[in-house]
């Protein structure tokens, strides 16, 4: 018998000063049994960084060739394709062909550096791609905030993110590996 996804509810208030975007979002996340709290919370951070009324979570780890988050226009064409983690370089290039913009939010400490050394040269040529790294201490601190029901506030300013749940605050000094 297959394990079922765990459902998480997130009330997320986003204040993106860089984009002038201020809005509340009620999110429902399905966490695949193989997904860690860290990865799930980095997905929430990715949502906050690219927040939009049309942004939605993809089908998740169980479905290949689909983004972790996606924003489509009214015709169904993909405007933004967002991946979390260390995706395969070929898959990222394929996503660049299917979308107007592709964003990778990489996390994992030293693994990010090794992944970028291996894939960076090929990915540097992708005009529609941006790659940003979440510091390992920030992704681990976000994982510690995970709960089945969360109320989070995210403030984004000058490329940094501050996420708080009212009692704990996590500062993520994001590092751009490749601007779009």
Q: Please, which pLDDT band fits residue 1 given cuts at 50, 70 and 90? A: low
For residues 152 and 164, give the distance between their C-alpha atoms in angstroms, rounded to a whole number: 6
Residues 6+ apart with CB under 8 A from 93: 122, 123, 126
Q: Please, which pLDDT band fits residue 159 given cuts at 50, 70 and 90? A: confident
- Please choose, from the candidates 20, 31, 26, the residue with its C-alpha nearest in 3D space to the C-alpha of residue 55: 26
Helix (H, G, I), strand (E, B) or coil at 136: helix
At residue 62, does pLDDT exceed 80?
no
Residue for token digits 């927040």?
51
Q: How many CB atoms lie within 10 A of CB 180?
A: 12
For residues 117 and 97, give the distance between their C-alpha atoms in angstroms, rounded to a whole number: 22
Q: Where are the beta strands (DSSP E) in the chain?
A: 6-16, 21-31, 55-57, 69-72, 78-84, 99-106, 129-133, 149-157, 160-164, 169-173, 175-178
DSSP code string of 46-64:
HHHHT--TTEEE-S-TTST
> What is the homologous superfamily of the domain 6-178 according to CATH?
Restriction endonuclease-like alpha-beta roll domain (3.10.640.10)
| pLDDT at position 4 | 84
| pLDDT at position 65 | 75
For residues 107 and 74, give the distance between their C-alpha atoms in angstroms, rounded to a whole number: 31
pTM (two decimals): 0.94
| pLDDT at position 61 | 57
In this prediction, residues 40-69 reach a mean pLDDT of 88
Task: Give the tens place of pLDDT for each residue, 71-124.
Answer: 999 999 999 999 999 999 999 999 999 999 999 999 999 999 999 999 999 999
In this prediction, residues 20-39 reach a mean pLDDT of 94
- For 104-127, b/e burial (b = at least 16 CB within 10 A) is bbbbbeeebeebbeebeeebeebe
Q: What is the mean pLDDT of the chain?
A: 93
At residue 49, does pLDDT exceed 60?
yes
Task: Give the tens place of pLDDT for each residue, 127-139.
Answer: 999 999 999 999 9
């Amino acid at each position: 018998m297959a394990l079922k996804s765990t459902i998480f509810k997130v009330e997320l208030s986003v204040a993106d000063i860089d984009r002038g975007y201020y809005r509340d979002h009620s999110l429902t996340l399905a966490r695949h049994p193989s997904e860690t709290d860290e990865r799930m919370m980095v997905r929430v951070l990715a949502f906050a960084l690219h927040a939009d009324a049309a942004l939605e979570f993809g089908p998740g780890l169980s479905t290949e060739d689909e983004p972790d988050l996606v924003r489509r226009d009214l015709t169904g064409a993909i405007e933004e394709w967002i991946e979390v983690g260390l995706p395969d370089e070929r898959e990222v290039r394929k996503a660049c062909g299917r979308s107007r913009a592709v964003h990778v939010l990489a996390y994992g400490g030293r693994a990010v550096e090794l992944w970028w050394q291996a894939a960076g040269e090929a990915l540097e040529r992708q005009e529609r791609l941006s790659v940003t790294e979440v510091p390992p201490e920030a992704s681990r601190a976000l994982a510690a905030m995970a709960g089945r029901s969360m109320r989070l506030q995210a403030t984004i300013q000058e490329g940094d993110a501050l996420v708080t749940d009212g009692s704990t605050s996590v500062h993520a000094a994001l590092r751009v590996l490749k601007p779009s």
